[in-house]
Amino acid sequence: MKIICIIPARKNSSRLKNKNTLNFCGKPLFEWTVQISKKIKLFNKIVVSSDDEKILKYKKKYPKIDFLKRPRIISRKSTHMSEVIKYNLQYLKKKNQTFDAIAILQPTSPLRKINTINSALKKFIKYSPNYLASVSEIKHTQYPHMLVNQKNKKFVQNTIILNKNLKKKFYYLDGGVIFIFKIKNSNFNFSKKGAFIKVNFPENIDINTYNDFLLAKKYF
């Protein structure tokens, strides 16, 4: 199975400005993901997709990795990941480079482990699900009794009512660490058969705010 790794590193960020190029423990945040991806032998190709010239200049440092400039039309906040993937695949197809599956490594998860990536890839190859995503356990103290609608700030009743004494474990989708899917499922159809790999704290820290940034540095 030919697997391409795509690292999406957009320039702008609404909650933490230019987070992908922030100095994180001696390197730009995105570079930690680039470096760990290079150590994964199951990747047939690695692509960094970005509209940030600062990031694209790293092509000289990593000549074996493709740094593809992302057009402005798919660099907006509202751009869906499927659009970015489609663009990159079409670009590579013109160069007669095709793949069976895609692994997305978000640059905002610098604490991910090599073993986690390898385990996820091996599981994906062995069982051939339509997709495989990293998930994290919801702790009992996090169980929501009522949810809040972000748009109208009203409570959404009768959605999820969980008792903290329940023995069942619940997980939330945390695809930031790793998300793998077959090319034919590049529209992110979660209704099809999928698989999951559990990721624990602090490996699952996803940097979206400055507080996330400080927390990740604490556990790095």
Q: What is the pLDDT of residue 192?
A: 66
Residue 7 vs residue 70, higher pLDDT:
7
Per-residue pLDDT at 71: 75
Q: Is the pLDDT of residue 148 over 50?
A: no
203 within 8 A of 177, measured Cβ to Cβ: yes
As a whole-number percent, the residues of the chain with pLDDT over 90 amount to 50
Averaged pLDDT score across all residues of the chain: 83
Residues 27-68: tens digit of each pLDDT: 999 999 999 999 999 999 999 999 899 999 999 999 999 998
Amino acid letter, 123: K
- Domain ranges (residues) in the chain: 3-135+171-219
Phi and psi based region of residue 195 (left: phi greater than 0; alpha: psi -120 to 50; beta: remaining): beta
Report H helices in the chain: 29-38, 53-56, 81-93, 114-127, 210-219
Is 90 exceeded by the pLDDT of residue 213?
yes
What would the pLDDT profile of 82-130 be if each residue is shown by its tens digit? 788 888 888 888 889 889 999 999 999 999 999 999 999 999 999 998 8
Residue-level pLDDT at 211: 94
Q: What integer is the mean pLDDT of 160-188? A: 68
Q: What is the identity of the amino acid at 144? A: P
What pLDDT is stored for residue 82 in this prediction?
Answer: 75
- Looking at domain 3-135+171-219, its CATH class is alpha beta
pLDDT at position 147: 46
